[in-house]
Amino acid sequence: MKKVFQILSVVLMSAISVSAMAADAADVLSKLKSRIAPDKRTAIFDVKSTTAGKQVTVTGIVGFQEQKDAISKELADNGFTNVQNKVNVLYNAVPEGKKWALVKLSVASMRCEGKHAGEMATQGIMGQPVRVLDCTSDWYRVQTPDNYISYVPESSLFCKTEAQMKDWRAAKRYIVNTYCTRLVTEPAGDETVTDLVMGNILEYKAENGEWIQLATPDGRLGWLPKSEVDEFQEWAKRDLDLNLVLKTAHRMLGSGYLWGGTSTKLTDCSGLVKVSYFSSGVILARDASQQALYGLKIKGSEWQKCQFGDLLFFGTKSGRVTHVGIYMQDGKYIHCSGQVKINSLDPKDPTYLYSPLSASRIAGEIGTPYITYVRNHPWYF
């Protein structure tokens, strides 16, 4: 009887040990995820661990090889010596000729799911480079320069190899500087090749007097007045101009609200902020709750310290950020809520609408996480 009890004790202790090992491995992976992939909007990290004896097996999907390698290293650093890393890497499965793409429409809808009925996540604009994470259906899973991940129809993209992307980055390009316009078949012509919006990037082909011939990412040729574009490299050299940021926002006054909108056609609240700052060559995070994490922090109760161009964040009583606007001066701010409009932070002002939870300053913070110049982003140059 004593021997049986000893055997049962060993079995029980072994089971407890295996259970503890499984829990420990899961905890290691959870902590790793919170460190390298805390936001599912910008990173794919869906993995789990199972334990058989002393062996830990990790399965699931991640976006990139570095994430898979980090799993192996993290488990090894925590004492797990018998690990089978069977995690699939999405990017590794993408064919070489489809790892990169340029948005070929003036504005492309990008959704949370790979279907037209899916919720709008964001928008891409012509000439915007994207990294393709999955191309196994007619809807490509892509990552935009702000790291945001969404689904876009294959028909909205023009795929390129790494070598072709290198050529594109070195090519003479122009960026649209006007609110919206048309690329036409001949100088002063009336037949449209495509519509264009602010921020669209096209390649140079020729010029004729006050007109310039440009090519869309998929090779369509057309003409545009030179006054409606800037040479891309020269445009990107300019430093942040807050007057231009606010001018861009003001040009959209009265425009309606579109969930997921990030173009001069229509925006949501954070889209207005992104479009306005991009007009001055700065890339910000996509959503208001992400934008609130970066920049020089200012307490909401101290909004009087805000300066021209600072971001104002609004939300719930619990502190969850759901809205963003751009501070102007004298307590006024411009934002998109129902439509692009101007309101006040002063409760005594008849245009008062919300009190901010916090604010962030972008000026002086470029080069910090999720605040970068286009000229410093390796996808563009």
Distance, C-alpha 15 to centroid of its chain: 45
Instruction: Indicate the helix (H) or strand (E) that contains 334.
Output: strand 332-337
Over pLDDT 70: what percentage of the chain?
94
Cα 354 from Cα 344, distance rounded (Å): 8
Query: In the chain, what are the domains?
Result: 2-92 (3.30.300), 94-168 (2.30.30.40), 171-237 (2.30.30.40), 242-376 (3.90.1720.10)
Alpha-helical segments (H) within the chain:
2-36, 65-77, 162-170, 232-237, 242-251, 269-278, 288-291
Give residue 329's pLDDT band: very low, low, confident or very high (50, 70, 90). very high
**Amino acid found at 309:** G
| Beta-sheet pairing, 55-62 with 88-89 | parallel
Are 316 and 288 a contacting pair, CB within 8 Å?
no
Residue that has been written with the tokens 């809205």 in this structure: 323
9: left (phi over 0), alpha (psi -120 to 50) or beta: alpha
What are the tens digits of pLDDT across the range 143-193? 999 999 999 999 999 999 999 999 999 999 999 999 999 999 999 999 999
Q: Examine the pLDDT at 41 and tell me if it is beyond 80.
A: yes
Residue 357: its pLDDT value, please?
A: 99
Cα gap 262→350, rounded to integer Å: 29
Mean pLDDT of 372-378: 99
Q: Which of 317, 297, 299, 320 shows the shortest CA–CA distance to 371?
A: 297
Mean pLDDT, all residues of the chain = 95
From 13-22, 105-114, 204-213, 249-258, the region with the lowest mean pLDDT: 13-22
Given this model, what pLDDT does residue 6 score? Answer: 52
Distance, in Å, from the CA atom of 120 to the CA atom of 143, rounded to the nearest integer, reads: 15
Q: How confident is the model at residue 21 (pLDDT cuts 50, 70, 90)?
A: low
Nearest-angstrom CA–CA distance, 211 and 224: 6
Interacting residues of 289 by C-beta distance below 8 A, sequence separation 6+ = 320, 321, 322
pLDDT in tens, 51-67: 998 899 999 999 999 99
pLDDT at 132: 99
Checking if the pLDDT of 13 tops 50, the result is no
Tell me, what's the pLDDT at 108? 99
If pLDDT is split at 50, 70 and 90, which confidence band does 20 have?
Answer: low
Residue 359 DSSP class: E
Provide the pLDDT for residue 10: 42
Q: Identify the sign of the CA torsion 279, 283, 286, 292.
A: negative
Q: What is the pLDDT of residue 3?
A: 55
- Over residues 189-211, the mean pLDDT reads 99
CA distance 84 to 86: 6
Is the pLDDT at 261 greater than 80? The verdict is yes
End-to-end CA distance of the chain: 76
Q: Which residues contact 135 (CB under 8 A, 6 or more apart)?
A: 94, 95, 98, 141, 154
Say what percent of the chain tops pLDDT 90.
Answer: 93
Which amino acid is residue 373, in one-letter code? Y
Residue 5 pLDDT greater than 70, yes or no: no
- Among the listed residues 371, 335, 361, the one whose alpha carbon sits nearest the alpha carbon of residue 146: 371
Angle between helices 242-251 and 269-278 (to 10 degrees): 130
Tell me which residue has tokens 């925006």: 267
- Residue 23 has what pLDDT? 66
- pTM higher than 0.85: yes
| Tokens representing residue 256 in the block | 């309606």
* Residues 104-116 pLDDT 10s: 999 999 999 999 9
The amino acid occupying position 362 is I
Per residue in 79-106, pLDDT (tens digit) is 999 999 999 999 999 999 999 999 999 9
Assigned token pair, 249: 């926002």
Mean pLDDT, residues 130-137: 97
What average pLDDT does this structure show over 349-354? 97
Judge whether residue 15 has pLDDT over 90: no
Given a cut of 80, is residue 30 above it in pLDDT?
yes
Structure-token pair, residue 136 = 């196994």
